[in-house]
Amino acid sequence: MAALKYAGMDDTDSEDELPPGWEERSTKDGWVYYANHEEMKTQWEHPKTGKKKRCAGDLPYGWEQELDDKGQVFYVDHINKRKTYFDPRQAFTIEDVQVKPKRYDGNTAALEILQGQDLSNKVIVITGANSGVGFETARSFALHGAHVILACRNKARSSKAVSLILEEWHKARVEAMTLDLASLRSVQEFAEAFKARKLPLHILVCNAAVSTQPWCLTEDGLESTFQICHLGHFYLVQLLQDVLRRSAPARVVVVSSESHRFTELLDSCGKVDLALLSPPQKEYWSMLAYNRAKLCNILFSNELNRRLSPHGVTSNAVHPGNMMYTSIHRSWWLMTFLFTLARPFTKSMRWVRPSPAQRGNVIMGREARLSKARKLGNKCMLR
Ligand SMILES: NC(=O)c1ccc[n+]([C@@H]2O[C@H](COP(=O)([O-])OP(=O)(O)OC[C@H]3O[C@@H](n4cnc5c(N)ncnc54)[C@H](OP(=O)(O)O)[C@@H]3O)[C@@H](O)[C@H]2O)c1
């Protein structure tokens, strides 16, 4: 079990080996077919396994698809100045299995949902990804090939999280960048540093949060739960909006909570009472502050979706599950006690580690596929 298995690419070469006289080719839209040169016939199914396949993703950099005089697709590698009938993406084909629609439930983990997905062309930023829901999300994306950036406030904790993922798959494209949502200056610095790298941004997960912490003001003079859970994210999305739009189709995922139900933001006249968002110490109750910030998350996500979806950027708010044992309760002993009591009955962060042997197999699998691609590419070279 590891990265390429999750992406559905871990089958062995021996099963795929074609009988003599057969050749693997692909159509313009990526479907793989098999040509039997002895009998002069073609078919969609692999002659040994009977499976259908299609090519995943874009052509590698420098390659182009063209049609010959007979209308057959061939590929031009402009960098190495060669032509071939072999589709270079065939190193990463996906089986066309008739999968029954999967049923997900409260026990489904991120890795199961992503099974079979190739995210190698995606750039993903996750806030507060050094622990809990954020870490599990980052790990799952990284093991599916995405370039994942952990946007965290604490360098030591984020480096530890990065090394845990790399330990699992040493080729994971995962890194940490500093972001403290309690400081609008830090949010701005993060956005500038990210933009300076000229990367696209396909998924932004606004996950970081604090709960049940004592009243304190941020350096911007705002109540910290409100700023960390909502306002910091709001500002971050504003600053990265242009990158998201350029990277469309892109999405924002705002991690909210069902606890948004247990509050409201309206005053007695039915108008939004902005004073409730960042209350003074004497009016502060940590749970209420958290619930309000989570309500802001949902309102924000809905409005963002309304404004950006016409430009190819969607936004969704999610509730990840009730009372999952993460670090969210750590600021108040009573919450820690309640989370501990509930732990056996609630969803857990599933943390399945592959054995070193399994990890080795997967890495060998990818290298074997690449060498197969090279071999086949040479065989099918045009004169
Ligand atoms: N656990 C649950 O039962 C539950 C239920 C409903 C919703 N949620 C939501 O799920 C999300 C993830 O929470 P979790 O349960 O995984 O909790 P968690 O393990 O405590 O994760 C929260 C993350 O936010 C980070 N963070 C806190 N303050 C920050 C700041 N100023 N700047 C940047 N990052 C900061 C934390 O970093 P540090 O390690 O540096 O503090 C941590 O990585 C939250 O939005 C939460 O509201 C959780």
From the candidates 75, 104, 290, 325, give the one annotated as an active-site residue. 290
Distance 232 CA to ligand 1 centre (A): 13
Backbone angles phi, psi at 270, to 5 degrees: 85, 15
**Residues 256, 145: Cα–Cα separation, whole Å:** 26
Name which residue sits closest to atom 11 of ligand 1, judged by CA: 207
Highest CATH level, class, for 110-348? alpha beta
Q: Cβ of 351: how many Cβ atoms within 10 Å? A: 10
For residue 74, the model assigns a pLDDT of: 85
For residue 277, the model assigns a pLDDT of: 92
> Can you spell out the DSSP letters for 111-158?
HHHHTT---TT-EEEEETTTSHHHHHHHHHHHHTT-EEEEEES-HHHH
The pLDDT tens digits of the residues spanning 245-297 come to: 999 999 999 999 999 998 888 888 888 888 889 999 999 999 999 999 999 99
Distance 211 CA to ligand 1 centre (A): 8
For residue 321, the model assigns a pLDDT of: 87
Write out residues with Cβ below 6 Å of ligand 1: 127-128, 130-134, 152-154, 157, 179-182, 207-210, 228, 255, 257, 319-320, 322-324, 326-328
For residue 30, the model assigns a pLDDT of: 77
Q: Does the structural domain 2-100 have CATH classification 2.20.70.10?
A: yes
Model pTM? 0.73
- The contacts of residue 85 (CB under 8 Å, 6+ apart) are 23, 25, 72, 73, 74, 75, 380, 382
For residue 234, the model assigns a pLDDT of: 98
Distance 128 CA to ligand 1 centre (A): 6
Q: Which residue numbers in the chain have pLDDT < 50?
A: 1-13, 354-383
Pocket test for ligand 1, best of 125, 126, 127, 131 (most atoms within 8 A of CB): 131
Q: Please give the DSSP secondary-structure letter assigned to residue 209.
A: -
Q: In what order do the strands lie in the sheet with 22-26?
A: 22-26, 32-36, 41-43
For residue 93, the model assigns a pLDDT of: 63
**Ligand 1 atom nearest to 229, measured from its CA:** 45
Domain ranges of the chain: 2-100, 110-348
Backbone angles phi, psi at 73, to 5 degrees: -80, 135
Residue 229's closest CA among 260, 203, 250, 193?
A: 260
For residue 70, the model assigns a pLDDT of: 80
Whether 104 sits among the annotated catalytic residues: the reply is no
By the 8 A CB rule, do 202 and 195 touch? no
